[in-house]
Structure 1
């Protein structure tokens, strides 16, 4: 029977009893008294049903509802069906949670659920092994009380979780970890912990190999360059046939020396062994000097302007910043066609400063932008080799800017030019 029919029967029953009570009252002269007794009896019956409902919901262990009549039979049955659905949902959620915990427990990567205040809510076995967490002691603890690495603390507070952060394990300095946060719901975060010790060791071997080979190449290059310079100085005494080969050898030796220098610089930056050595630096003054050098490199082929609205001081390594800025500006000179415009700016933002190099050159297809800072990545081998360069400039820029707490950002449109920029925080 539907709920509407139960309510219909209940209304019909109350109406019929009321009519009978009124008729009896008219014959006996006690209409008010009879209606009062009827109402009190009806109310007492409902109060008894409410008491039975409360007792069933709170103290009774019986899954099935008490027997009743009329509308209360429908109420009891509806609550029973609702409880039955809730039990099924609870079992399903419990099964899903159990499967989730079993699957995450089997992951080689650590998984840690963090609450609104970065307190630990749950973690799997891998997190326990990689970071040294303890179920009894660490649930409810803030993650920064257990992972105190300054890089991770800064990463956690910064709020930009696009890229992971690499730190050493708090229980073993020989274990290298990659930590990445993912936000979900409103205030919860999932921290994934990956053991990258083997990758780190392989990268270290590669860096050492590049550094060692670069060092070893310096000596023979110096010798070859010495002989090339001798030939260049006495070129008039050589047959005309040798003039062009000597010039080409000189160019290629200079290119090789530049490549070796860039490889050594990049290896030093990637190793992270050398601190930034922050001092007070004026980016406006650095950019002004580089722009003058860029004008000399351009030889009047481009319109190069510099615009600065402040002489702010930031903390950083002046030599490294000069290298990063010059790479960006000289690249604009190399790749912008004759007659093009290059605009270098140093402007103040609400919470810091922005350095930008903008040109109206050929532009870069969006498909290439994510890979521009990779070592030796070239958009067009023919064009890139014709303008020179080692293919390491933007990789060096990327690492220098990361060491200074910022990152290189690129916007470009084919046929309309490119803009390379980075933002620095104000000195507090």
Structure 2
């Protein structure tokens, strides 16, 4: 609004001066010369004001603008108001940045901002400790040149940041770091680094405790089983009165033995023992599943269940035959235990575009949806009474999950109450 008003005033002032000087010049027959002089003087005056503006904006550190009449005075004043507003915004922004730096400096987790090419743009103090970075030399460097761990380079190149990466710290081998990358703003990535050494130490303590307790339980169980075998009512008729309690004791001792075996297997899977299951080998899954089906029919016994194996692929897997047999048999035997008499169990070996899939499908009672996410938790039971009566340990699906992870696979469960369940093991074709 003000620009129109002041430009109009400037225009009419210049026009008035030109008219007056033109009239005066016409008295001496020099009207054109007088008008030219006025226009030239006006141009020089504007160039002087432009020079003053340039010096104030670029070279001078003065807060207040130079004074000038007319439109130039308004231009100086308007720029001064904008400059003062920008200074306030800049001061506010600096305060926010200072608070951000102070808060990130207090974080125990390391935080870095890198470009899509991996150039470090910023990091906090925790990153210096966890990764051994130095602000004076490493800003602008590529993170992948400083952190040369092969797993980290593969993790970054894959650009699959759904799961974090766990590696040892390059600054201190005793530290175990959890790294998670989050892309944002199309050309930047936030790298969060957490020290999970204590968590891994506690996990190791738990694994050792379970393994040690399981080993210690084996000796008394062996003794108990030995005496229970001796206490046979056929050999000692006087024991016929306690035959039923003895049978229950034998069954519970057998269940305890299965539990100890499963705990030991889980401990070894947790520890990722290289000797577990022997060296990786090429496995004919069709032969393995056919054998497991035969065992399942024996386990079914009087239930008269229909157990069928459907092979739709001749593909093989590379891995531990012992581990995979344990995982697949857990799924098949679970289906046998929990499917009703004369029920149907179908085992499939097939392949999709990207995966090899082993599926166990039954028409049993099914599982409610609320239980499915927790099925692979240790000792989690959908129905604790039924599970115990069938001789389950509550560790079978936990073992399946660990075995699949060691073979780069995963488990999917689909179940409908009253219609049955479907457990599918997915393996990448490259495995």
TM-score tier, shorter chain, comes to 0.7 to 0.9
Q: Give per-residue Cα distances to partners, 1:256-284, cap 9 Å, x unaligned.
A: 11111101101111112426743333445
Q: Give per-residue Cα distances to partners, 1:188-234, cap 9 Å, x unaligned.
A: 33333333333323322222222122122222222322333344583
Would the alpha carbon gap of residues 224 and 262 (structure 1) be closer, same or farther in structure 2, given more than 3 Å must change?
A: same
Output the CA distance in 1 between the equivalents of 2:390 and 2:204.
Answer: 32
Output the CA distance in 2 between the equivalents of 1:402 and 1:214.
Answer: 23
Output the CA distance in 1 between the equivalents of 2:363 and 2:20.
Answer: 100
Give the stretch that moved more between structures: 137-146 or 126-135. Answer: 137-146
**SS in structure 2 at match of 1:173:** coil
Q: Are 1:408 and 2:405 matched, yes or no? A: no
Would the alpha carbon gap of residues 45 and 194 (structure 1) be closer, same or farther in structure 2, given more than 3 Å must change?
A: same
1:280 to 282, 294, 314: 282
2:329 to 326, 330, 335: 326
Stretches of structure 1 that go unaligned for 5 or more consecutive residues are none
Deviation at 1:332, TM superposition (A): 3.4
Would the alpha carbon gap of residues 307 and 144 (structure 1) be closer, same or farther in structure 2, given more than 3 Å must change?
A: farther
Deviation at 1:390, TM superposition (A): 0.8
* Cross-structure match for 1:379: 382
* Cross-structure match for 1:221: 221
Would the alpha carbon gap of residues 285 and 150 (structure 1) be closer, same or farther in structure 2, given more than 3 Å must change?
A: farther
Deviation at 1:32, TM superposition (A): 8.1
Output the CA distance in 2 between the equivalents of 1:6 and 1:387.
Answer: 90
Would the alpha carbon gap of residues 80 and 354 (structure 1) be closer, same or farther in structure 2, given more than 3 Å must change?
A: farther
**SS in structure 1 at match of 2:100:** helix
Give the stretch that moved more between structures: 28-37 or 233-242. Answer: 28-37
**SS in structure 1 at match of 2:117:** coil
Give the stretch that moved more between structures: 66-75 or 373-382. Answer: 66-75
* Cross-structure match for 2:7: 10
Deviation at 1:30, TM superposition (A): 8.9
**SS in structure 1 at match of 2:326:** helix
* Cross-structure match for 1:104: 104
Q: Give per-residue Cα distances to partners, 1:48-67, cap 9 Å, x unaligned.
A: 55444444333332333343
Would the alpha carbon gap of residues 185 and 47 (structure 1) be closer, same or farther in structure 2, given more than 3 Å must change?
A: same
Give the stretch that moved more between structures: 355-364 or 394-403. Answer: 355-364
Q: Are 1:128 and 2:128 matched, yes or no? A: yes
Give the stretch that moved more between structures: 151-160 or 392-401. Answer: 151-160
* Cross-structure match for 2:401: 398
TM-align CA RMSD: 3.7
Output the CA distance in 1 between the equivalents of 2:355 and 2:82.
Answer: 57
Q: Is the 8 A contact 2:233 2:240 kept in 1?
A: no
Q: Give per-residue Cα distances to partners, 1:278-311, cap 9 Å, x unaligned.
A: 3333445434443444444345655555555432
Spell out the pairing of 1:37-56 with structure 2 (5 A cutoff): 48-56=48-56
Q: Give per-residue Cα distances to partners, 1:16-72, cap 9 Å, x unaligned.
A: 755885798799599988887776666665555544444433333233334344444
Deviation at 1:247, TM superposition (A): 2.3
Output the CA distance in 2 between the equivalents of 1:270 and 1:388.
Answer: 24
Would the alpha carbon gap of residues 30 and 164 (structure 1) be closer, same or farther in structure 2, given more than 3 Å must change?
A: same
Output the CA distance in 2 between the equivalents of 1:400 and 1:386.
Answer: 26
Would the alpha carbon gap of residues 389 and 313 (structure 1) be closer, same or farther in structure 2, given more than 3 Å must change?
A: same
Stretches of structure 2 that go unaligned for 5 or more consecutive residues are none
* Cross-structure match for 2:193: 193
Q: Over alpha carbons, which structure has the higher Rg?
A: 2
TM-score with structure 1 setting the length: 0.82
Deviation at 1:118, TM superposition (A): 3.0
Would the alpha carbon gap of residues 286 and 274 (structure 1) be closer, same or farther in structure 2, given more than 3 Å must change?
A: same
TM-score with structure 2 setting the length: 0.81
Spell out the pairing of 1:331-350 with structure 2 (5 A cutoff): 331-338=334-341, 342-350=345-353
Output the CA distance in 2 between the equivalents of 1:153 and 1:238.
Answer: 73
Deviation at 1:240, TM superposition (A): 3.9
Q: Give per-residue Cα distances to partners, 1:309-368, cap 9 Å, x unaligned.
A: 432234322221222222233333333445655454444344333444445544444544
**SS in structure 1 at match of 2:173:** strand
The count of corresponding residues between Structure 1 and Structure 2 is 425
